[in-house]
Structure 1
Amino acid sequence: MKRSSQVSVSKIIQLMKKIPIFDAFTSEDRAQMAEHAQIYIANTDEAIIERDAKDNCFYILLSGEARVLLRQKDVSPLATIEPGDMFGEIGFALGTPRSTWVLANQLSALLRVDHKLLDALDHALKGKVKDQIILKMANTISALNSR
């Protein structure tokens, strides 16, 4: 997976406007985040997250599609990730090794969020990002409990 330096701040802001996670963000919030954003491009079948790897980031899929697998060679995915979905937040929050593989189903653009990015944001915006992580984790727990 490669970092793209060819995506302009205005294009990142435009993409963020289409993602529900950023609905609670003001135009200024999105602009501040886009200034420090790292956009990555994953090719078809390329690993975005590798099981057992330790990483300090999570991702928001901006375009494309990805699949979640327990083992890299599995045929049936555990889940499909679509634009707007956040993933990898548990490893980010807890500092634990990744529990699954995430592979791109097609050419995909991702916003990578790490501690460096969060540290560059003002306190209020950092809180909004953390609120979105908490909301995502709570929804995941709720979905698991209802099964």
Structure 2
Amino acid sequence: MQKVEYITKEKVTEIMKRLDFFKDFNTSEITKLSEFHTNFFVYEKDERIIEEGHHSNAFYIILSGGVIVIKENSKIPLARLEPGDFFGEIAFITGNPRTSNIVSDETTIAIRINRSMLDKLTSEIREKIKDQILNKLIQRIGRMNDVIVSLTE
């Protein structure tokens, strides 16, 4: 179960300005995002944020803390995600069930972006979010290619 604590707009704005994910956002756009205070969540250590197999209409951007990506019945995490990283975007886009669990491995603040929130944002902000997701996905594919190449050498 997720624990929700109130986070001030000022605190959220301060955090977002430090993250690479929001580097192309101007102050006005960051302020607009921070107004969606009901979409900001604080997760305690070991709190499950996403459950494998479940459907959801949201993805998350980590503002502080960190999470692990882990398959059900596995003890070995697939990845650790840190501030500026995001998760849940593929299931959000495709509507498919979640393919893994996301568990906070320390106190974590994240913004939960759903379709309702996206509909209320300007097209400029939506484009910048999309661009950041595409850039990060391209980086992930590059890292996976490097791993595959290193395994075949």
> Normalised by the size of structure 1, how large is the TM-score?
0.91
Computing the radius of gyration from Cα coordinates, the structure with the larger value is: 2
Give the distance between the partners of 2:137 and 2:18, measured in 1 at CA: 21
Query: What is the RMSD of the two structures over their aligned residues, measured on CA atoms?
Result: 1.4
4+ residue stretches of structure 1 with deviation over 4 A? none
Partner SS, residue 2 of structure 1: coil
Residue 18 of structure 1 is matched in structure 2 by 18
The unaligned stretches of length 5 or more in structure 2 are 149-153
Aligned residue runs from structure 1 range 91-130, under 5 A = 91-130=91-130
The structural deviation recorded for 1:32 is: 0.9
The structural deviation recorded for 1:122 is: 1.0
Residue 54 of structure 2 is matched in structure 1 by 53
In terms of fraction of residues, the more helix-rich structure is 2
The structural deviation recorded for 1:80 is: 0.8
> Normalised by the size of structure 2, how large is the TM-score?
0.87
Q: Deviations over 1:41-72 (max 9, x none)?
A: 2121111111011111111111222111112x
- Corresponding letter in the other structure for 1:34: S
The unaligned stretches of length 5 or more in structure 1 are none
Say if 1:36 and 1:120, in contact at 8 Å, map to a contact too: no
Say if 1:54 and 1:96, in contact at 8 Å, map to a contact too: yes
Asked whether 1:90 is paired with 2:90, we answer yes
How many residues matched?
145
The structural deviation recorded for 1:121 is: 0.8
